[in-house]
Amino acid sequence: MIWSKYSAPQAFYPLAGRLIPWFSVVAVALIGVGLYMGFFVAPTDFQQGEAYRIIFVHVPAAWMSMFLYVVMAVWAGVGLGLNARLSFMMAQAIAPTGAMFTFLALLTGAMWGKPTWGAWWVWDARLTSELILLFQYAGVMLLRTSIDDLRRADRSSAVFSLVGVVNVPIIYFSVQWWNTLHQGASVSMSTGSKMAATMLTAMLLMTLAFWLYSVAVILSRVRCIIVERESLPVWEEQPTVVQKVAEVR
């Protein structure tokens, strides 16, 4: 089985190394195209003027922040269920990127809120839930670093991320539940999109770009974690890095 072969960190390390350039290059290209479409091709919004253009970063970042939390929880669950080391390493690698996107969504949301709502921050349900998502990412990372025993750190933070996943649907449905200031979703599966086609294309391109970027960054981080954790002999390529780590140890 090819999958079980790559579940070993030693086998996954070179595979990740080969995949990273592809994901990085496509991510950079798509970010270029997406931003060009968002800033120059997409029409000006008749209500919000030019300020709306931040959604080309804001909405993909917010989507990624939630998506990555779920992916992290899935890896954590796989790790707990199958007792696979690589799954825990993936969960560990995803957390900082997810937290970064959560912060980016909050930051761009504030930058959009100031001209549109007249306030940097309002206690709207979706903003608040996104802030809580950031706290949860912080909790996962803090719990991991507080526990010295690696095995327990892996498993405990996995349990916590699974518990926190209950919060992600609450974030998603909070708009309907509390019905506050944040505008309702502009894109929905059932009724189709309410935006111009170019806007939607730019936004989806940016989402795809952020996803590819996440994959590239997470794979590089997983490689670092593998080198850090498994004090193994040099496998291939970049022998200097591995040797240096071994020397430091």
CA-CA distance, 189 to 246, in Å (whole number)?
Answer: 51
Total of chain residues touching other proteins, rule CB under 8 A: 24
Residue 33 contacts other proteins per CB under 8 A: no
Three-state DSSP at 210 gives helix
| Residue 116 engages other proteins in binding (rule: CB under 8 A) | no
CB of 136 to other proteins, least distance (A): 5
Q: Does 8 bind other proteins (CB under 8 A)?
A: no
For residues 137 and 161, give the distance between their C-alpha atoms in angstroms, rounded to a whole number: 8
Which residues, at least 6 apart from 55, have a Cβ–Cβ distance to it below 8 Å?
112, 203
- The residue behind tokens 């000006």 is 44
CA 55 to the chain's CA centroid: 17
Measured from the CB atom, the residue of 47 and 145 that comes closer to other proteins is 145
List of residues 6+ apart from 178 with CB closer than 8 A: 125
Q: How far apart are CA 9 and CA 79, in angstroms?
A: 13
The single residue among 162, 181, 185, 187 that binds other proteins, judged by CB under 8 A, is 162
Whose Cβ is closer to other proteins: residue 67's or residue 160's? 160
Contact 198, 41 (CB under 8 A): yes
- The answer to whether residue 69 forms part of the interface with other proteins (CB under 8 A) is no
Pick from 52, 67, 33: nearest CA to 113: 52
Q: Does 122 bind other proteins (CB under 8 A)?
A: no
Cβ burial, residue 235 (10 Å; 0-12/13-18/19+):
middle
- Given the DSSP bridges, would you call strands 192-193 and 187-188 parallel, antiparallel or unpaired? antiparallel
Q: Of residues 170, 196, 224, 234, which one binds other proteins by CB under 8 A?
A: 170
201 near other proteins, rule: CB under 8 A: no
Q: How far is the CB of 169 from other proteins (least distance, A)?
A: 11
Site for other proteins in 125-154 (CB under 8 A): 128, 132, 135-136, 138-139, 142-143, 146-147, 151-152
Give the x/- contact pattern for other proteins in 171-190, rule: CB under 8 A.
-------x------------
For position 166 contacting other proteins by CB under 8 A, the verdict is yes
Question: Which runs of consecutive H residues, i.e. helices, occur in 48-181?
Answer: 55-82, 85-117, 125-146, 150-164, 167-178
Stretch that binds other proteins, among 57-65, 166-174, 183-191, 205-213 (CB under 8 A): 166-174
Nearer of residues 48 and 156 to other proteins, judged by Cβ: 156
Positions touching other proteins (CB under 8 A) are 80, 128, 132, 135-136, 138-139, 142-143, 146-147, 151-152, 155-156, 159-160, 162-164, 166-167, 170, 178
